[in-house]
């Protein structure tokens, strides 16, 4: 697996390289021309992008990368991490968003997670991120495209595959509610919640609760605690 490190800062690249050295194939670039050429030639699995660098500080670049190199998963790192920034990055197609000061072990985990097709966002930003994505959805009239498996392209996030109980759980996950509070709200055991979530992930083709919540909030006309299930709005 190749990981592309993209930053104007030799110090940043050096720190990232040290954290990721081992079994990964690493390559570094410091300008957009080299970035575009490397993406085209090597098609790296993961791109770690320093969005504080003047040459890369444009989320339009993230969108361009994800369109032209769809197999490359982008992790956006910045010193000014925020929920609104995370929402903008995810909307642009990034699979990861985090503070640039993350530890080497967290960077290694982030690379592994996004390489497996999952989203990587700071836990403290998840609830606010969902709210920001809802706002983006409402103002941009669903201009964000869902990252769905091929068999789901003509459905509303395959929600017709869910039972009523599973739909209730998805609604609560989309508000950022943890499993314990979901179990209390629905008067079922936490173990049952986990079992339902495993089946929900399988049916909807997502890899975790963050990706589930983010995609739910990208659905047309999504509102807090409101989304499309079985072709109708449930609130």
Boundary of a domain, candidates 121, 142, 160: 121
In tens, the pLDDT along 81-111 reads 887 788 888 878 899 999 998 999 999 999 9
Measured CA angle at 22 (ends 20, 26), to 5 deg? 55
Nearest to 30 by CA among 52, 64, 48, 55: 55
pLDDT for residue 229:
26
Together in a domain, 6 and 111: yes
CA distances in angstroms from 190 to 101, 181, 195, 196, 216, listed in the order given:
34, 9, 9, 10, 22
Together in a domain, 30 and 114: yes
In tens, the pLDDT along 122-163 reads 877 776 777 766 666 554 443 334 343 343 333 344 455 788
CATH number at residue 34: 3.40.50.2300
**Is the residue at 230 inside a domain?**
yes
**pLDDT confidence tier of residue 195, bands split at 50, 70 and 90:** very high
Together in a domain, 11 and 100: yes
Residues 6+ positions from 47 with CB-CB distance below 8 Å: 3, 4, 6, 39, 65, 72, 73, 74, 75
Please tell me whether the overall predicted TM-score, pTM, comes out greater than 0.85 for this model: no
**Is the residue at 8 inside a domain?**
yes
The total domain count for the chain is 2
Together in a domain, 168 and 222: yes
**Is the residue at 140 inside a domain?**
no
Residue 103 region by backbone torsions, left for phi larger than 0, else alpha for psi between -120 and 50, else beta: beta
Pick from 1-5, 63-67, 145-149, 205-209: least confident? 145-149
**Is the residue at 172 inside a domain?**
yes
H-type helices in 81-224, by residue range? 83-92, 104-115, 126-140, 164-173, 179-186, 190-204, 209-217
Neighbouring CB atoms inside 10 A of 167's CB total: 17
Nearest to 214 by CA among 120, 130, 95: 130
CATH number at residue 218: 1.10.10.10
List the domain range (segments joined by +) for residue 37: 2-121
């Amino acid at each position: 697996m190749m990981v592309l490190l993209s930053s104007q800062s030799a110090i940043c690249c050096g720190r990232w390289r040290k954290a990721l050295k081992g079994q990964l194939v690493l390559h570094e670039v410091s300008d957009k021309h080299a970035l575009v050429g490397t993406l085209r030639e090597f098609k790296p699995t993961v791109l770690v992008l320093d969005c504080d660098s003047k040459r890369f500080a444009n989320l339009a670049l993230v969108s361009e990368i994800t369109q032209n190199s769809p197999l490359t998963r982008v992790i956006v790192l910045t010193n000014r991490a925020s929920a609104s920034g995370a929402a903008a990055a995810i909307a642009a197609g990034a699979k990861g968003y985090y503070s640039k000061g993350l530890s080497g072990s967290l960077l290694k985990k982030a690379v592994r997670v996004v390489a497996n097709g999952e989203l990587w966002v700071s836990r403290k930003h998840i609830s606010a991120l969902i709210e920001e994505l809802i706002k983006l959805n409402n103002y941009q009239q669903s201009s964000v495209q869902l990252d769905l498996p091929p068999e789901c392209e003509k459905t509303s996030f395959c929600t017709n595959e869910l039972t009523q109980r599973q739909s209730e759980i998805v609604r609560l996950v989309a508000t950022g509610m943890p499993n314990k509070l979901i179990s209390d709200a629905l008067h079922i055991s936490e173990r049952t919640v986990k079992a339902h979530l495993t089946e929900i992930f399988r049916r909807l083709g997502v890899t975790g609760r963050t990706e589930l919540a983010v995609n739910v909030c990208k659905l047309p006309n999504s509102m807090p605690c409101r989304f499309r299930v079985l072709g109708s709005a449930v609130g």
